[in-house]
Chain A
Amino acid sequence: MTPHLAQAAAQSTSIGQPNTVAMAFFFVFIAITLGITYWAARRTRTTEHFYAAGRSISAGQNGFALAGDYMSAASFLGIAGLVSTTGFDGLIYSTGWLVGWPVVLFLIAEPLRNLGKYTFADVVASRLKQTPVRLAALLGTLSTVIFYLIAQMVGAGTLIKLMFGLSYETAVAIVGAAMIAYVLFGGMIATTWVQIVKAGLLMGGAGVLALLVLVKFGMNPITLFAAASAKYGSAMLAPGKLVSNPLDTISLGMALMFGTAGLPHILMRFYTVKDARAARTSVFYATGLIGFFYLLTFVLGFGAMVLVGPDAIKAIDKGGNMAAPLLAEYLGGTPFLGFIAAVAFATILAVVAGLTLSGAAALSHDLWTSVVRGGKARPGEELRVARVATFALGVVAVLLGITFKGQNVAFMVSLAFAIAASANFPALVLSIFWRRCTTQGAVASMVAGTLGTLVLIYLSPVIQVDILKHTGAWFPLKNPAVITIPASFLIGIVVSLLTSDVGALQQHEGSVREMIEGARAH
């Protein structure tokens, strides 16, 4: 097909009109996942079932679920869109989001599984004083979860509006209702299986799409890249305008790499398997799946660039987020577009469910049981609080999704990663690996990490120039991670050295043994 015809085909896209195939696939997905939820609800009797699926998930299942929790709309729609409109620059995200996984594996997964019960605050608090640590961790968890939720809700609303012709508000409300149903009734068991189904659909959908692209280029990705560079210039294969400020690029890289190891909904997954060995093996599977998916995004992005064209993609959505759906329509017509749209929707729905569950766990386990009840909640009470928290978070997510309509999704996600990397990751590492870490040090690190990141983001050009329309910004970087991650480590170390925590030191011996042996009976 000549470029001319390709452009014409893209312009006559059915995106924006109700798509029956998309609706049908979507309702099948909802029906299957609600079926899973019904099945899971009958197995969710205790708090341990609700938060940790009764520690019954296998390493392979958890690998898929981790991949499902991690590959959000930003991965699928965002990276494909970025590559299709900017070429090489999009790959900074593909690689950055993958290299976080080895860090999770080497530093976090096993100690987390052995020292904690339901949330990452369990680990930080295991040797330190409960109340201050849990309150500080709650601040970091809720900030991360809420910004991440907003991003997913805004993405879902926009996507459904384009694909199904529903209004933005209706779309956000539907996502909210389905997510509340999964988490409220099915807890971690339902959420895990929703992630597994979604990961399978996403890998399958992206795989078929990439295969259809490669068939047109003699099954050779290099031929595809060559076609892109012949059509839009060799600059597409080199770093471009997205990396105009080197320090900004490094800062973004740090947020992506260390943020993964601080995401509450990812960390929570390590409690669903039976031991540290299964936790470790599940990260191995997840890294394989996610890496393969990101390699596919190279093909999808450049495929959309060559076959659909950057202008046609930007005409539908300025951010380029519709590149993958447009590519599907070009290659497989309206039915395939419908299928890919339903996959993208399922992707968002599953991520939102995982996020809500981790937020609810922080509210009920860390705030209610550990702080309000001093660690001794009545039987069944924590579970009831978790369900109330799930419902409340779901409603808040819907309201925020509607309030933040039109915001840039990728920016919100990078914000969530910056908070996770600065608020949660340093305190986790210090409390696990450093004997001298004190309660005051960990709390200072988490509070400063959260607030510092929020303040610097407010002062950055993204808020000051792009949103508030001021002429300049006090802080020059779009992403503050290059400052806030080292600062959060430094504050944790300095405050720990200035204070003493006798309890923490006394418990260190036992803690080391527990960390490798998993001695605590669950």
Chain B
Amino acid sequence: MISAYHELAARRWRVAIILTIAVIIIYFGFIALIAYRKEMMGSLITPGLSVGILLGALVIVSSWLLTWYYVWWANSRYDERLAELKRQGE
């Protein structure tokens, strides 16, 4: 019984860590570009829109998408399996 819980906990942990690493790469990638590639971040895509501003907005949008994905996964897959385990436990 405990091992099934362990297995589910490990699965959630794997998803959580992968998504956390994704956020870290996205944000620190953005910060590293700001710190070390200033000219590139300042170059204009169209008048008024620099690469930096576009990427900044995309950091926010990608945070939304990652939280949306996790909540979708957890509310369906994870909670289903958890409910199954709880039924078996009773």
- Chain A residues at the B interface, C-beta cutoff of 8 Å: 88, 91-92, 94-96, 98-99, 101-103, 105-107, 110, 222-229, 234-235, 237-239, 243, 246-247, 249-250, 253, 257, 277, 280-281, 283-284, 287-288, 291, 294-295, 298, 433, 509, 512-513, 515-517
Say whether A238 contacts B2, CB under 8 Å.
no
Residue numbers in A under 8 Å from B31 (CB-CB): 92, 96, 249-250, 253
Interface 0/1 of B48-90, CB less than 8 Å to A: 1110110011011101101110110011000100100110000
Say whether B34 contacts A513, CB under 8 Å.
no
Say whether A222 contacts B49, CB under 8 Å.
yes
Say whether A298 contacts B53, CB under 8 Å.
yes
Say whether B63 contacts A99, CB under 8 Å.
yes
Asked if A238 meets B38 with Cβ closer than 8 Å, knowing A103-B23, A105-B67, A295-B60, the reply is yes
Say whether B5 contacts A91, CB under 8 Å.
no
Asked if A509 meets B2 with Cβ closer than 8 Å, knowing A239-B42, A253-B27, the reply is yes
Say whether A517 contacts B74, CB under 8 Å.
no
A211 CA to B35 CA, complexed, in Å: 32
Q: Interface majority SS on A: helix, strand, loop or mixed?
A: helix
Residue numbers in A under 8 Å from B39 (CB-CB): 238
Say whether B75 contacts A99, CB under 8 Å.
no
Say whether A94 contacts B67, CB under 8 Å.
no
Say whether B38 contacts A239, CB under 8 Å.
yes
Residue numbers in A under 8 Å from B36 (CB-CB): 246
Residue numbers in A under 8 Å from B48 (CB-CB): 222-229, 237
Residue numbers in A under 8 Å from B30 (CB-CB): 95
Asked if A105 meets B70 with Cβ closer than 8 Å, knowing A95-B56, A225-B53, A249-B34, the reply is yes
Closest to A235 in B: B42
Say whether B2 contacts A513, CB under 8 Å.
yes
Say whether A238 contacts B63, CB under 8 Å.
no
Closest to A249 in B: B35
Interface 0/1 of B1-29, CB less than 8 Å to A: 01001101100110111011001101110
Say whether A250 contacts B49, CB under 8 Å.
no
Say whether B38 contacts A237, CB under 8 Å.
no
